[in-house]
Structure 1
Amino acid sequence: MMRAAGVVGGATLLSRILGAVRDIVIASFFGAGLTSDAFIAAFRIPNLLRRLLGEGTLSIAFVPVYTDVLYHQGRTEADRMATSAIRLLALVLLGCALFGIVAAPWLVRLFAPGFAESADKFELTASLTRIMFPYVIFVGLLALCMGILNVLGHFAAPALAPVFLNIAMIAALCLGAMWSMDQNVQVRWLAFGVILGGVLQLGLQIPVLVRSRFRFWKKAPLWHPSFQRILLMLGPVLLGAAVYQINSLVVTLLASLLPQGSVSYLYYADRLVQFPLGIFGIATATAILPTLARQAAAQQCEAMRQTFAHAITLVFFITLPSMVGLIVLREPIVALLFQRGAFDAHSMRLTASALLYYCTGLWAFSGIRIVLNVFYALKDARTPLRISLIAIAANLIVGALLMGPMQHNGLALALSLSSVFNMALLTVALRRKLGALGWRAICTSIVKTAMCAALMGVCVEAVSGWLLPSDGGTGLQLLPGVAGCAFIGTLVFAGLAHALKLPEMRKLLDIVRKNSPATPA
């Protein structure tokens, strides 16, 4: 499990780095204005489906059933079931893509109602939505392939897939800029880059499926008896596991009613939060699902409790110092990454303020994914569904109340508060489901980690005055100072964790050693 988490985390790190480069390029060309708002809102809809399907949510419904068939009926029947699933899903996704193309104007009115006040912004958003909606076909099939490969022990290719999306988007935007200076033309090139990225992502999985000896059954039926179990879980899973993504869509909806640029400020801040969340939270959750599914199939409840405890403490061990670091260095980080071209100092400050409020919920964003996967391995999707609906309603209500006095910052804070609420309810429900989870040991580890992170934050705040430019600085001139602060913070946190003998430090070092090039395969 730890090796798989390391593989997924390493591949996700590369993807997030390229994703940051992509966002830097987009911010440089479009800033935080009409064009960026239109693209971000248009991309939110197919990107929501990408996160629903591509970051493990479809796999959550598919993997336990596929594992069960493989465990009890053998590889041949498991491959036959997977082939039927690929065929049926392809037809469903084709229908979704056609619907999205036709219904683009209505989707924009639904998810970004404030854009209707500007005809140019509304028309551009609808046009971009039409271009990008077919992306759901490729990312949906990718998600199914990812589930198959993860069960068969292949994690690298699925985790590397987003790298190709980022490369395609960066290349498309740069080519568009060479073709025309008109932002409307450039942003359409960017949208077509999304489609190219989808093709490349799916294409990467085919050779790995062949090497894993997966057999595509030409005469497999469109329906398999196991699908009933998948469908019973799929609806609740999509809502339950996707609460963060749905809440992000709620944030976009409410932000469209705020002054121009609000959608962009929240998007860029969210992208920075997604960096540690994707590398550690989602990567660990993805890696433990096959392990939990096997333990659930064998009815090994104690082993499941141990897997959960190891995963949740490791995730908090990494996300808590990441959260503190992002809070302390929020302005220099945003300035380093985005403040150039059309992205000015005003946009930097407003993005950094949103990042502050998003960061307060980072630990909950990560923990939710771990808790949810325990429920789904137990084939219980209804409990997370009920809790997630409560959390979504809380986000909508709190966001609507805070957006007046706090503007876009209120929406970021509402998302964090609703996620903490969601995490608390899920944890209580899991204890009732699985019994004692060893929370005394877990909480002891979390408290020690929080103490180390807080002391690290104090040290980073102290040295930042020496390492960062006194006039604030912009762009790459901030790189040495930010890197120096991050390095010192890492040393301080690691030293404190070692002094307190936190076992997560050893687990993290084991992951690094097992996934280093010098380690035999």
Structure 2
Amino acid sequence: MGGGLYRSANATPDGVQPPSDGATYISVDRIDQPMVESTSPAPEPPVGGTAAGNSAVMAIGSLVSRGTGFLRTLVLGSALGTFAVGNAYTTAQIFPGMVYEFLLGGILTSVLIPVLVQRRKVDSDGGEAYAQRLLTLAVIALWVATVAAVAAAPVLTSLYGSDKTSDEFQNLVTLLSYLMLPMIFFTGLSALISAVLNTRGHFAAPMWAPILNNLVVIATFGLYIAIFGAEIIEPDEMTAGRIILLGGGTLLGVIVQAAGLFPALRKVGFRWRWRFDFRALGLRELGRLGAWMICYVAVSQIGLAVLFNLLNRAGDENGAGPLIYNNVFLLLNMAHGIIAVSIVTALMPRMSAAAGDGRFADLTADLSRGTRMITAVLAPVAVVFGVLALPISVALFRWGAYGADSAVATSTVLIVAALALVPFSISQLFTFAFYALPDTRMPALINIPVVVLRVLVQIALFAAFSTQFTASGLMLGNAVSYVAAAVLSAWLLRPRVGRIGLSEIMRTFGKVLVAALGAAVVGLVVITLLPGGEHLSRPQAILQLVVGGVVIGGSYVGLALLLRIGEITEVVGMVRRKLGR
């Protein structure tokens, strides 16, 4: 139900595999105990090293992965800018992820990894033969899909483009797609190898491999700037050398990422062997389990096609296009990944175990606490996004070809994204609650009206307002759909699991809203007293960001303690205990 530039986190419902975006996890051992930071437990003892050592490696890898990933985004904007060429690259880059998600992403998360874990436990060979068959079939399917996608590149361009975009823009997207669509194969291969490693208790390599990808792409854009400069050009000025460098360098990054995982396979004792006896996989059962997930992803991709079509229409008229929207969604997803994914990952094993034992009261208690925890911890982040949108955009993105006007446009979208952050994370938590039952059918069915609502709101806002508001309107459509998804999911969950503690959740919502509004007012007052204006310099933006962030965070925590928001008092208590030691 994402409504953004979706990228699979490869996180499983049973908490087997931690997200590849490098989140910090929060385990909740008991409802009445304080939160304790840790990593998601593996199904088997880690291969090589102690649990503490592996946790440290993953924590460092998470930090480096996030840092290099964000630097990659900054260098992209600096090299290409936010207009036609930058939007063309962003559009072409989404195609491999779209095809991969449709083929494997959702199924890997909800079906294949749990099956690999089960076969790892029950098969006499530790599930090795089963994994070899699965890898063989998946590699063949990925290769066929990649060839088909490359052949269909012009069709994809027409679907995600716009009839108003120029022929030069469409041609540039198509040429970049020819080079970047083979990423489907290597992305899928990387995800499959990571799944095999995770089910054997090895998390370090899958955590560090994306960093190799980021470094290659950063080097690609650095070389692009060194050779061609950081300036805004038109699509018809993109020479063959520029196109080959951008598309080929992006593809090379994924190839290096996949190649970097093979040594870890040998380390855990897994041997790659081609096996073509696919009947032993139980394809009918896998198909039954994965059918609803395919439906879920397919509906989401329809929404994504509409999203890109509208964004490219706006970008063609110098409005905020795909690249600006993608940068803002990246910020939203980072906050979601660091906080909400941590909580969901920690709660999933508990909710899955409770559902399996028929202890639905325990499941709803975890779901209620997760909802309150996500709301309380993400609310100040949303305030920071809304109040400090302009200094954030200037300080983070205004480099090279990413000019001052683009930073202002980015800030407008970020203000609206602040409204979407908490509903987005809560809707994801409820989706995973269905997976804990386990049920992939209901999330797929819920996704249909949610995406329809999102598309209708987005099209209506696009028709009602100028193209300058398009990206903000699309983000507002996301926010509306996230609220609808959360409400609909809660309504459909209740007959199956019982009351989820709505009164307690609403009390927390009310307290959090008061604390967030108070922090926002204090933040706005402080920002007006600091130097700066609509066109901030970078030093002014950094000053506003640092001072405003501290003031907003401090005000929110103070008001939360005053209002006795339990989730915040737990965190503060945990910090005090650690400092006391």
Return closer, same or farther for 1:455/1:240 CA change in 2, 3 Å cut-off: farther
8 Å CA contact retained: 2:175, 2:243:
no
Report the AA paired with residue 420 of structure 2: G
Q: Write the deviation string for residues 393-429 of structure 1: whole angstroms up to 9, x where unpaired.
A: 1122221111022231322222221222122111211
**Paired-residue identity, %:** 24
**Higher alpha-carbon deviation: 39-48 or 288-297:** 288-297
d(CA) in 2 for partners of 1:294 and 1:204?
A: 34
| Candidates 61, 67, 78, aligned match of 1:17 | 67
Q: Displacement, 1:196?
A: 2.4
For residues 71-220 of structure 1, the aligned pairs below 5 Å read 73-74=122-123, 76-114=125-163, 117-152=165-200, 154-155=202-203, 157-181=205-229, 184=239, 185-186=241-242, 188-212=244-268, 219=275
Q: Displacement, 1:360?
A: 1.5
Report the AA paired with residue 359 of structure 1: A
Report the AA paired with residue 172 of structure 2: L
1:473 alignment counterpart = 536
Q: Displacement, 1:173?
A: 1.0
Report the AA paired with residue 119 of structure 1: D
Q: Displacement, 1:287?
A: 4.9
For residues 85-484 of structure 1, the aligned pairs below 5 Å read 85-114=134-163, 117-152=165-200, 154-155=202-203, 157-181=205-229, 184=239, 185-186=241-242, 188-212=244-268, 219=275, 221-240=277-296, 247-258=303-314, 259-261=317-319, 262-406=321-465, 407=467, 408=470, 409-470=472-533, 472-484=535-547
SS of corresponding position for 1:341: coil
1:41 alignment counterpart = 91
TM-score (norm 1): 0.86
Return closer, same or farther for 1:299/1:288 CA change in 2, 3 Å cut-off: same
Q: Displacement, 1:511?
A: 8.9
d(CA) in 2 for partners of 1:56 and 1:511?
A: 36
Q: Displacement, 1:345?
A: 2.6
Report the AA paired with residue 522 of structure 2: C
Q: Displacement, 1:202?
A: 2.9
Q: Structure 1 unaligned runs (5+)?
A: none
Return closer, same or farther for 1:255/1:451 CA change in 2, 3 Å cut-off: same
SS of corresponding position for 2:93: helix
d(CA) in 2 for partners of 1:172 and 1:29?
A: 10
Return closer, same or farther for 1:427/1:490 CA change in 2, 3 Å cut-off: same
SS of corresponding position for 1:113: coil
Structural RMSD (CA): 3.4
**Higher alpha-carbon deviation: 169-178 or 137-146:** 137-146
**Higher alpha-carbon deviation: 364-373 or 195-204:** 195-204
Return closer, same or farther for 1:110/1:149 CA change in 2, 3 Å cut-off: same
SS of corresponding position for 1:379: coil
Return closer, same or farther for 1:419/1:219 CA change in 2, 3 Å cut-off: same
Return closer, same or farther for 1:147/1:400 CA change in 2, 3 Å cut-off: same
SS of corresponding position for 1:384: helix
8 Å CA contact retained: 2:106, 2:293:
no
d(CA) in 1 for partners of 2:349 and 2:517?
A: 34
Report the AA paired with residue 108 of structure 1: T
The structure whose residues are more often helix, as a share, is 1
d(CA) in 2 for partners of 1:179 and 1:273?
A: 33
Report the AA paired with residue 328 of structure 2: A
Residue 116 of structure 2 corresponds to residue 60 of structure 1: no
Q: Write the deviation string for residues 93-119 of structure 1: whole angstroms up to 9, x where unpaired.
A: 11111111111011100111336x412
8 Å CA contact retained: 2:530, 2:544:
yes
TM-score (norm 2): 0.78
8 Å CA contact retained: 1:39, 1:187:
no
For residues 477-516 of structure 1, the aligned pairs below 5 Å read 477-505=540-568, 508=571
8 Å CA contact retained: 1:468, 1:478:
no
8 Å CA contact retained: 1:333, 1:482:
yes
Report the AA paired with residue 434 of structure 1: V
Aligned length: 514
Q: Write the deviation string for residues 363-412 of structure 1: whole angstroms up to 9, x where unpaired.
A: 12112222112212323111111110111111222211110222313222
Return closer, same or farther for 1:183/1:219 CA change in 2, 3 Å cut-off: closer
**Higher alpha-carbon deviation: 282-291 or 403-412:** 282-291
d(CA) in 2 for partners of 1:39 and 1:328?
A: 30
d(CA) in 2 for partners of 1:290 and 1:220?
A: 34
Return closer, same or farther for 1:256/1:397 CA change in 2, 3 Å cut-off: same
d(CA) in 2 for partners of 1:511 and 1:194?
A: 43
Report the AA paired with residue 505 of structure 2: I
8 Å CA contact retained: 2:136, 2:274:
no
**Higher alpha-carbon deviation: 102-111 or 206-215:** 206-215
Return closer, same or farther for 1:62/1:108 CA change in 2, 3 Å cut-off: same
8 Å CA contact retained: 2:393, 2:411:
yes
1:4 alignment counterpart = 39
Q: Displacement, 1:125?
A: 0.2
d(CA) in 2 for partners of 1:281 and 1:465?
A: 31
Q: Structure 2 unaligned runs (5+)?
A: 1-25, 28-37, 42-54, 230-236
Report the AA paired with residue 541 of structure 2: L
Q: Write the deviation string for residues 436-483 of structure 1: whole angstroms up to 9, x where unpaired.
A: 223333333333333322222222112112345246423354223212
